């Protein structure tokens, strides 16, 4: 076996959380090595540049109040582009229930509308967001972990029933084409209240009339620039298979009690270290390890001594949302033939079919993306990409005959089928927030954990950056 190299910190995973931890640690003077199992950096940020128009498979757009990610973009000279003109078009989508396409103008008086008076103008995709915003007891996002809110860690179904919603309203208002869980019984209301509280807090940071941004040349250019700025870069295609702890390895210690800088490190034997074992047989010693990948990936890595108690249980059980994005190119503007909106929110296999505008003209539709979620996404994972694309096109054609022969499959990305992601974002079931969230990210021996699933006050890309920042601070306090 190869002799072990030594570094102050090894970061496992080159997504936003791992890269943010690495850059902060390196800025403080630590010798940092980042390992990435894939042949690219970015993790769940993935710009599909091979499609020719930077379709985003992950990190679709940057929230207008994502201060950490915007600061990183500015630091590395990445130009951000306001996508507000493009996002406005998403409000034009029509609704599909069964075999019927329902225009937004028809919905308030439609017989299938189950919402109470006062909410009948809300489309289902707005209703599921409006309720957690309107009925939210959280004063700030981080309050979701306070014990006084534990009673909210119930299913979304039970929470909505407690507000007086009918089963039909819950079904159409949440369970059809759900982006968290398979249905309203599968997700904690506390998670969605946290998400709503974060969205509300974002408004305080966001410029007026700005909904969000994308990055020039794709959002993946931000983690790529972060990785390129590291002194050692990122070691790609280097999966980790085990992490154990040695009590007599050479490790890095400080030479004084001041805050770290590049001149105050020296090595001393005897105090122990973490040893990271890679799939290629190499070993790397470090005083600390940052594990910056989802729990679904951590399950396949041997840790000695192993995790225990609720932390081990959380790693074993916490899920991430299955979602597959299927990219389609329209040969003609067929929506002009049937008079419906280019985008559809369906209750069947295609999920949300969104008209994407990735060109310079926000009115020009460059492609369509079918956002397939939950069990439908898992089902597509059993097929070849070509068959999955054909299945989605056939389903859209059945709904919308005008699209027959007008859709070309150009690619897909399955987050549930991605072995290094194991899903698109963390999913807490009923009771899991109060059982796991406060303990599952605790340091274990010399291993520190980060990732969007461990954020306390943020969601999305900002959550990843927040957790990486917290992991780096924890390590620096111990060096």
pLDDT digits (tens, 9 = 90+) for 106-146: 999 999 999 999 999 999 999 999 999 999 999 999 999 99
Q: Sign of the C-alpha dihedral, residues 321, 93, 141, 156?
A: negative
Distance in angstroms (rounded) separating the CA atoms of residues 464 and 443: 17
Mean per-residue pLDDT, 17-31: 97
User: 427: which strand partners?
Assistant: 319
pLDDT-derived band at 357, boundaries 50, 70, 90:
confident
Please report the pLDDT score of residue 64 as a whole number: 86
How far is it, in rounded angstroms, from Cα 189 to Cα 186? 10
- What digits encode the pLDDT tens for the residues 253-305? 333 343 344 333 333 333 579 999 999 999 999 999 999 999 999 999 999 99
| Residue 177 region by backbone torsions, left for phi larger than 0, else alpha for psi between -120 and 50, else beta | left
pLDDT at 167 over 50: yes
Neighbours of 225 (CB within 10 A): 18
Across residues 325-331, what is the average pLDDT? 94
When pLDDT is cut at 50, 70 and 90, the band that residue 11 belongs to is very high
For the chain, give the mean pLDDT: 90
pLDDT band at 359 (very low <50, low <70, confident <90, very high): low
């Amino acid at each position: 076996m190869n002799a072990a190299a030594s570094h102050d910190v090894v970061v496992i995973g080159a997504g936003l959380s791992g890269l943010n931890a690495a850059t902060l640690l390196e800025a403080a003077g630590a010798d940092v090595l980042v390992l990435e199992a894939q042949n690219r950096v970015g993790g769940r940020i993935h710009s599909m540049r091979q499609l020719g128009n930077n379709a985003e498979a992950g990190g679709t757009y940057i929230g207008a109040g994502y201060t950490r990610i915007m600061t990183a973009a500015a630091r590395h000279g990445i130009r951000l582009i306001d996508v507000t003109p493009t996002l406005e078009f998403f409000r034009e989508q029509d609704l599909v229930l069964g075999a019927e396409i329902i225009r937004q103008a028809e919905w308030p008086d439609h017989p299938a509308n189950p919402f109470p008076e006062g909410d009948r103008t809300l489309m289902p995709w707005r209703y599921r967001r409006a309720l957690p915003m309107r009925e939210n007891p959280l004063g700030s996002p981080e309050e979701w972990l306070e014990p006084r809110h534990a009673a909210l860690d119930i299913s979304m179904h039970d929470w909505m029933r407690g507000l007086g919603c009918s089963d039909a309203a819950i079904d159409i208002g949440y369970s059809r084409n759900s982006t968290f869980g398979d249905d309203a019984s599968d997700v904690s209301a506390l998670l969605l209240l946290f998400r709503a509280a974060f969205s509300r807090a974002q408004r305080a940071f966001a410029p007026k009339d700005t909904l969000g941004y994308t990055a020039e040349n794709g959002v993946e250019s931000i983690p790529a620039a972060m990785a390129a700025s590291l002194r050692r870069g990122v070691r790609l295609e280097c999966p980790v298979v085990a992490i154990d702890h040695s009590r007599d390895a050479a490790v890095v210690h400080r030479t004084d009690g001041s805050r770290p800088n590049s001149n105050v490190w020296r090595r001393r034997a005897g105090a122990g270290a973490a040893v990271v074992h890679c799939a290629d047989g190499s070993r790397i010693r470090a005083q600390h390890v940052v594990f910056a990948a989802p729990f679904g990936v951590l399950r396949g890595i041997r840790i000695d001594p192993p995790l225990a108690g609720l932390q081990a249980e959380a790693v074993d059980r916490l899920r991430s949302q299955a979602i597959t994005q299927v990219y389609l190119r329209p040969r003609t503007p067929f929506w002009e033939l049937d008079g419906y909106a280019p985008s559809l929110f369906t209750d069947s296999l295609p999920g949300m079919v969104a008209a994407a505008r990735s060109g310079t003209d926000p009115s020009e539709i460059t492609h369509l993306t079918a956002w397939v979620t939950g069990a439908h996404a898992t089902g597509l994972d059993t097929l070849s990409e070509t068959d999955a694309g054909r299945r989605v096109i056939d389903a859209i054609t059945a709904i919308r005959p005008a699209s027959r022969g007008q859709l070309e499959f150009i690619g897909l990305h399955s987050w549930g089928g991605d072995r290094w992601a194991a899903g698109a974002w963390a999913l807490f079931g009923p009771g899991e927030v109060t059982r796991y969230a406060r303990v599952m990210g605790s340091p274990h021996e010399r291993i520190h954990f980060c990732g969007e699933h461990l954020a306390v006050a943020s969601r999305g890309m900002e959550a990843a950056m927040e957790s990486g920042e917290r992991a780096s601070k924890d390590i620096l306090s111990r060096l």
